[in-house]
């Protein structure tokens, strides 16, 4: 597995790495083997997102491509990836806001869990695999296999599905047939733009784990002395190759799990 990182400032434009902050995250790209954990630190006051890229193939020079979540032909991303992609989103402040969003589509399960935080600090994300039940009109296929599920906005580009125009507010933009399918598979992830009540979470003074291909039966993890320690592991489906892309976040632990 390989990973990439890029970032952008939110409320605070200054930090020790304000010019190219993604350099703190493996230079914008790094390898992450099955079962491996990576730990990164980001300044408070930054916001960003994390996502995975799947079906990737890169050469030794870092040139290649991915079937989903691609940010061009480079291993080391400096910008956001292509849709569809499951996104973990963070805004870091005195109180952190975080969520997992499927507004841009779904390409793999993802769960965010706060560690040692104060406040609500609920787990956010999608441990169901929407690709298994993706409507055919939304499906992205490679060699006959569904590798991702596009959003209805991406496919149909209407105001109703994209929550814009007359539908650009919470009163008029309501769940649709497609967003309800996403929500059924991923109850604590954003299924459309105004899906706030059950999808955005807060926590303070926390570290965070972002687990790909996870399930809610996973044993509890803890973070001590720059190490992630989990009392057990869950079983989930395998990915031939996955590329994780990141925008700036605080203590974030990336952990990929595979079935045995």
10-residue mean pLDDT series, the chain (260 residues)? 42 28 54 72 76 85 87 80 91 93 94 92 90 95 95 97 96 96 93 93 92 63 54 36 43 40
Torsion of CA 134, 100, 200, 217, to 10 degrees: 90
Q: What is the pLDDT of residue 127?
A: 80
Are residues 15 and 24 in contact, defined by beta-carbon separation less than 8 angstroms? no
Strand bridging mode 252-256 / 145-149: unpaired
Q: What angle do CA 59, 88, 153 make, to 5 degrees?
A: 90
Q: What is the pLDDT of residue 189?
A: 95
Q: What is the pLDDT of residue 235?
A: 30
CATH of domain 2-256: 2.60.110.10
Q: What is the pLDDT of residue 169?
A: 96
Q: What is the pLDDT of residue 113?
A: 93
Q: What is the pTM of this model?
A: 0.79
Q: What is the pLDDT of residue 27?
A: 61
Burial of 78 (0-12, 13-18, 19+ CB in 10 A): middle
Torsion of CA 10, 89, 8, 71, to 10 degrees: -160
Q: What is the pLDDT of residue 83?
A: 93
Q: What is the pLDDT of residue 192?
A: 94
Nearest alpha carbon to residue 110 among 233, 213, 23: 213
Q: Which residues pair with 218 in a beta bridge?
A: none
Nearest alpha carbon to residue 58 among 130, 120, 3: 3
Domain ranges of the chain: 2-256
Burial of 112 (0-12, 13-18, 19+ CB in 10 A): buried
Q: What is the pLDDT of residue 222?
A: 52
Q: What is the pLDDT of residue 218?
A: 52
């Amino acid at each position: 597995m390989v990973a990439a990182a890029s970032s952008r400032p939110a409320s605070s434009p200054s930090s020790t790495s304000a010019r190219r902050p993604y350099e703190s995250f493996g230079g914008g790209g790094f390898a992450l083997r099955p079962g491996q954990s990576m730990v990164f630190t980001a300044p408070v006051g930054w916001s960003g997102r994390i996502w995975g890229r799947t079906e990737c193939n890169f050469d030794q020079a870092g040139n290649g491509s991915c079937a989903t979540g691609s940010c061009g032909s480079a291993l080391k991303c400096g910008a956001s990836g292509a849709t569809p992609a499951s996104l973990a989103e963070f805004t870091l402040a005195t109180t952190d806001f975080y969520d997992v969003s499927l507004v841009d589509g779904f390409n793999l399960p993802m769960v965010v869990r706060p560690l040692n935080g104060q406040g609500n600090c609920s787990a956010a994300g999608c441990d169901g695999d929407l690709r298994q039940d993706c409507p055919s009109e939304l499906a992205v296929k490679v060699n006959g296999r569904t590798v991702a599920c596009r959003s209805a906005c991406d496919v149909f580009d209407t105001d109703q599905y994209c929550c814009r125009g007359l539908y650009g507010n919470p009163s008029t933009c309501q769940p649709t047939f497609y967003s309800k399918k996403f929500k059924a598979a991923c109850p604590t992830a954003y299924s459309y733009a105004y899906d706030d009540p059950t999808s955005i979470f807060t926590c303070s003074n926390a570290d965070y784990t972002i687990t790909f291909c996870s399930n809610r039966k996973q044993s509890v993890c803890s973070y001590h002395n720059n190490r992630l320690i989990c009392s057990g592991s869950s079983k989930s489906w395998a990915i031939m190759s996955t590329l994780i892309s990141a925008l700036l976040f605080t203590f974030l632990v990336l952990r990929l799990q595979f079935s045995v």
